[in-house]
Structure 1
Amino acid sequence: MGGVDSPPDDPISSLSPGTAEQASDATKARPPAGEPEPDFYCVKWISWKGERTPIITQCENGPCPLLAIMNILFLQWKVKLSPQKEVITSDELMAHLGDCILSIKPQENSEGLQLNFQQNVNDAMMVLPKLSTGLDVNVRFTGVSDFEYTPECIVFDLLNVPLYHGWLVDPQSPDAAQAVGTLSYNQLVEKIITCKHSSDPNLVTEGLIAEQFLESTATQLTYHGLCELTAAVKEGELSVFFRNNHFSTMIKHQGHLYLLVTDQGFLQEEKVTWESLHNVDGDSCFCDAEFHLSQTLGKEAAGSSPQEQRQVDQDYMIALSLQQQQQGPSALSDLELARQLQQEEYQQQQQQQPATPPAQVMGLQGRAQPSSRPAGERRQRHKQESDCVLL
């Protein structure tokens, strides 16, 4: 598997009128006829930690690995652009990235390590052209930083940029955990094909279980993976997050995960810089550069009232705080965690509404008890109550 981002059909026409004029200098350097034109990206300027800082946006197919890495370097102020820069080409970005790699010095002075370091630098420079289109990334389902090693990973290692994913098999599902094992994605697909054509019924069953795991986690993010990701990423750490063949710039702020918004549609939205990563279904909240909740609502909450959105955000904070308590062998089961979360929500509502009539109190308390409804109906009701409590 890998990440591939197609360039826009007509980069210039996709720019806004004012931005197209800014691109005049870049268009003068177009290659001769017959050669492919470079991709153009719009630069968005944000106030990051009190300093005017550029980030690169993209108009189609989400952030590619080049943009994800470069945006980290911009946010770390390791690469700077002219204050008037509004448009940049992929060639310019790769030139900046190449300069960063060539400026890295080996930490050890021994001759052997220096030769190995120089070889890694040479290999990384050879990989750079792939960054603007896609990388071969093959996840393992055992850990958020577990990938099958490929030459492309050298770029991340040299720049000291962590690469994460959240596609993990839940150990509370022993059958799936056994079927998946320590295999990578590519190896698991091969195993499924082999098992389905086996004459051994046990192997056929194992293959079907593995196939069901891939189908049920098609979003390439599980709640177990999200919990592990939240625990693994360091506070304030900038990293690259891989999901659904896309690479995003990610940060952990005050214990919560956020993805950098690089969609060119938000180029003029000053209050939209980060997008929360708190569930597997794609629901999210937008924040500004200081991580204050934006009035621009998340994808699924666009039709919600301000009161409903505040409740969603409050539930989101509660859910993440409970996730952080799941450490060590005493970790809560999904059912226990759901009950604790429901009880927490009930207590908060009691504090906010001290004069709640007894009948309503009984209704709230009833949510903290195991329901006699079918499992599917319980999940649907739970989803309607809060997008952030599904764990």
Structure 2
Amino acid sequence: QNISDTMMVLPKLSTGLDVNVRFTGVSDFEYTPECIIFDLLNIPLYHGWLVDPQIPEQVQAVGRLSYNQLVEKIITCKQASDSSLVSEGLVAEQFLESSASQLTFHGLCELTARAREGELGVFFRNNHFSTMVKHKGHLYLLVTDQGFLQEERVVWESLHSVDGDSSFCDSDFHLSHAPGRAGVTPDPPDHRQQQSQVDQDFLMALSLQEGQLVPSVLSDLELARQLQHEEYQQPHPHPHPQP
């Protein structure tokens, strides 16, 4: 049955897979047919979006819910008449906002501890799948950005910070800099703004489905779209490697 399910999922590989994280462990995902592929091929699938066990109110608010379930809970709690439920919903929402990069410090620590030395795995973050390897106790992601297509010395990118501060390495994991970028690490994408937009879109869609629209969700969504529109209107220069 698993093989049959996998054959049905394979055509989706060209357009992306549907996975839904749980915030309790780096290997915890809501089980979907897409996950069968990783199981059959014995390829570990990881993420680093974990709730900090040292923050009990967040642990209680998030629980073992998946991302989609947590967003639904936030909407339900916001509309509740019970103040304790409203408070719990706000705590859950604050967790999503504070970890919009989808990588927490606790998650990074757990990820480093869980991954095995020399093991190739897949790291899921911001709806993107990356090849990940652990080399001499450090995590690295395979660089697939088109901007580095001609940079032979840029193969791996270190994963050692939740803030996007990373270094590039060659195929032997020696520190390297792309020509024209010596000593400079390109600005990471604004994962917080991207994820905030996704969260607000999802919240609004669920609210509309239920026949009610949360005012704060709508105002935040309008603001996010306005900021995104202004950003698109601004020119974005692209640095070119120097000869």
- What range describes the TM-score normalised by the shorter chain of this pair? 0.7 to 0.9
| Equivalent residue in structure 2 for 1:189, among 51, 64, 71 | 71
1:145-156 matched pairs, under 5 angstroms? 145-156=27-38
| Equivalent residue in structure 2 for 1:178, among 41, 60, 68 | 60
Deviation at 1:176, TM superposition (A): 0.8
Deviation at 1:271, TM superposition (A): 0.6
State the distance in 1 between where 2:177 and 2:47 align: 29
State the distance in 2 between where 1:194 and 1:210 align: 12
**Alignment correspondent of 1:198:** 80
**Alignment correspondent of 2:226:** none
Are 1:143 and 2:25 matched, yes or no? yes
| Equivalent residue in structure 2 for 1:291, among 149, 156, 173 | 173
Letter matched to residue 260 of structure 1: L
Deviation at 1:269, TM superposition (A): 1.0
State the distance in 2 between where 1:125 and 1:268 align: 35
Are 1:229 and 2:111 matched, yes or no? yes
1:77-226 matched pairs, under 5 angstroms? 119-226=1-108
Deviation at 1:196, TM superposition (A): 0.4
**Alignment correspondent of 1:374:** none
Deviation at 1:264, TM superposition (A): 2.2
State the distance in 1 between where 2:100 and 2:177 align: 30
Deviation at 1:252, TM superposition (A): 0.2
State the distance in 2 between where 1:255 and 1:273 align: 18
State the distance in 2 between where 1:295 and 1:243 align: 24
Percent of paired sites with the same residue: 79
CA displacement 1:128-184 (0-9 Å, x = unmatched): 111111111110000000000000111111111100000000011111111101111
Q: Between 119-128 and 201-210, report the one with greater CA deviation.
A: 119-128
Equivalent pair of 2:142/2:156 in contact (CA under 8 Å): yes
CA displacement 1:174-206 (0-9 Å, x = unmatched): 111111011111110111000000000000000
- What is the TM-score normalised by the length of structure 1? 0.46
| Length, aligned pairs only | 184
State the distance in 1 between where 2:146 and 2:69 align: 36
State the distance in 2 between where 1:195 and 1:267 align: 47
State the distance in 2 between where 1:276 and 1:296 align: 15
**Alignment correspondent of 1:281:** 163
Structure-2 change in CA distance of 1:263 and 1:166 (3 Å)? same
Deviation at 1:225, TM superposition (A): 0.1
State the distance in 1 between where 2:73 and 2:150 align: 47
1:327-346 matched pairs, under 5 angstroms? none
State the distance in 1 between where 2:37 and 2:110 align: 24
Q: What secondary structure sits across from 2:108 in the alignment?
A: helix
State the distance in 2 between where 1:286 and 1:201 align: 49
Q: Between 259-268 and 191-200, report the one with greater CA deviation.
A: 259-268
State the distance in 1 between where 2:127 and 2:176 align: 27
Equivalent pair of 2:166/2:185 in contact (CA under 8 Å): no
Deviation at 1:120, TM superposition (A): 1.4
State the distance in 2 between where 1:296 and 1:253 align: 21
Deviation at 1:263, TM superposition (A): 1.4
Q: What secondary structure sits across from 1:265 in the alignment?
A: helix
Unaligned runs of 5+ in 1: 1-118, 305-391
**Alignment correspondent of 1:8:** none
Q: What secondary structure sits across from 1:136 in the alignment?
A: coil
Structure-2 change in CA distance of 1:155 and 1:231 (3 Å)? same
**Alignment correspondent of 2:234:** none
Q: What secondary structure sits across from 1:152 in the alignment?
A: helix
**Alignment correspondent of 1:238:** 120
State the distance in 2 between where 1:225 and 1:165 align: 8
Deviation at 1:290, TM superposition (A): 0.4
Letter matched to residue 4 of structure 2: N
Q: What secondary structure sits across from 1:225 in the alignment?
A: helix
State the distance in 1 between where 2:185 and 2:135 align: 27
| Equivalent residue in structure 2 for 1:302, among 184, 195, 199 | 184
Are 1:259 and 2:137 matched, yes or no? no
- What is the TM-score normalised by the length of structure 2? 0.73
Unaligned runs of 5+ in 2: 187-243
State the distance in 1 between where 2:138 and 2:72 align: 36
Equivalent pair of 2:177/2:184 in contact (CA under 8 Å): no
State the distance in 1 between where 2:93 and 2:84 align: 14
Deviation at 1:121, TM superposition (A): 1.5
State the distance in 2 between where 1:259 and 1:195 align: 38
Deviation at 1:295, TM superposition (A): 2.5
